[in-house]
Structure 1
Amino acid sequence: MSRYTINPPQLKNAREIGYNHAIVEDGTFFMAGQVAMDENSNIVGEDIETQARKVYENVEILLETIGKTLANVAKVTTHIVDPQTHYYDGYKDVYWETFDEPYPCHTVLGHDQLANEDYLIEVEVEAPLTEQDVDDITPDGEIIREV
């Protein structure tokens, strides 16, 4: 089975700093942690709700690149600064707006700080893909690369 890297232009250029935003391999969509960052490396939002919305917007961009949606997500891992406050006061509302029944598996991990002191949240998702889903991926050599 083929392996693909996914790096849409609406997100920061991950390859220039040594990673890929997502990889499709063995029928699974794996994603690097997404933060509230735009394509120009600007942090979007100073509060958990605004940052969470941007994070899930970035996740949607990645999924749409391979023809999938948030409904295809099976697993969410959320890394959150000060979860006692931020989970119940902002993040949880955005999560409920983002996902519908049947909800994905969801793990929330608390942290004192993420990679940048201004990040309040980082999210990773996994989505299973069928053989047909993988066959439908069309590499273009830049956004979707077969490696």
Structure 2
Amino acid sequence: MTRYAINPSQLKDARDIGYNHAIIDGGTFYMAGQVAMDANSNIVGDDIESQARKAYENIEVLLETIGKTLADVAKVTTHIVDPETHYYEGYKEVYWETFDEPYPCHTVLGHEQLANENYLVEIEVEVPLTDGDVNAIEPDGDVIREI
């Protein structure tokens, strides 16, 4: 089966630092954790709410690239700095704004620090893809590359 690398222009070009934002392989959508970073490597927000909103915005960009939405998400994994403070007082509000019933599975992991000391949250999602979803992907050689 064909593999695709996904790197939307609205996100930082991850290839410059050695990874892709998402890979589709064997009908499975794999994605790198998304943080509150814009296309120019700037951190967006200094509180958990604004950072979570930006991370979910980045995820939406990735999903839209392959014709999916947040409603298609089956599982969310959230990495939070100091979850005892940030989960219920900040992040959870953004989560409720982002998802409706039926809610995806959700795992929250606490961390002392993420890749940058100013990141408060990093989010990954899993989205099931059918053969039809994969066959509908149209590589353009840049945003969606066949690899």
TM-score range, shorter chain: over 0.9
User: Aligned-pair distance for 1:29?
Assistant: 1.1
Structure 1 unpaired stretches of 5+: none
TM-score, normalising length: structure 1: 0.99
Match of 2:14 in 1: 14
Letter in 1 for 2:140: D
1:141 to 2:141 alignment: yes
Cα deviation digits, residues 38-85 of structure 1 (max 9, x gap): 000000000000000000000000000000000111111000000000
Q: After TM superposition, where is structure 1 displaced by more than 2 Å over at least 4 residues in a row? A: none
Structure 2 unpaired stretches of 5+: none
User: Aligned-pair distance for 1:2?
Assistant: 1.0
Match of 2:127 in 1: 127
CA distance in 2, matches of 1:23, 1:96: 27
CA distance in 2, matches of 1:48, 1:10: 22
Cα deviation digits, residues 94-128 of structure 1 (max 9, x gap): 00110111111100000000000000000011101
CA distance in 2, matches of 1:123, 1:32: 8
Match of 1:103 in 2: 103
The DSSP-based 3-state class of the residue aligned with 1:41 is coil
C-alpha RMSD of the superposition: 0.5
Match of 2:85 in 1: 85
Match of 1:52 in 2: 52
The DSSP-based 3-state class of the residue aligned with 1:97 is helix
Letter in 2 for 1:78: T
CA distance in 1, matches of 2:67, 2:122: 23
The DSSP-based 3-state class of the residue aligned with 1:128 is coil
1:41 to 2:41 alignment: yes
User: Aligned-pair distance for 1:7?
Assistant: 0.1
CA distance in 2, matches of 1:29, 1:75: 12
How does 1:69-84 map onto structure 2 within 5 Å?
69-84=69-84
Matched residues, percent identical?
78
User: Aligned-pair distance for 1:19?
Assistant: 0.1
Match of 1:27 in 2: 27
User: Aligned-pair distance for 1:26?
Assistant: 1.4
CA distance in 2, matches of 1:89, 1:69: 26
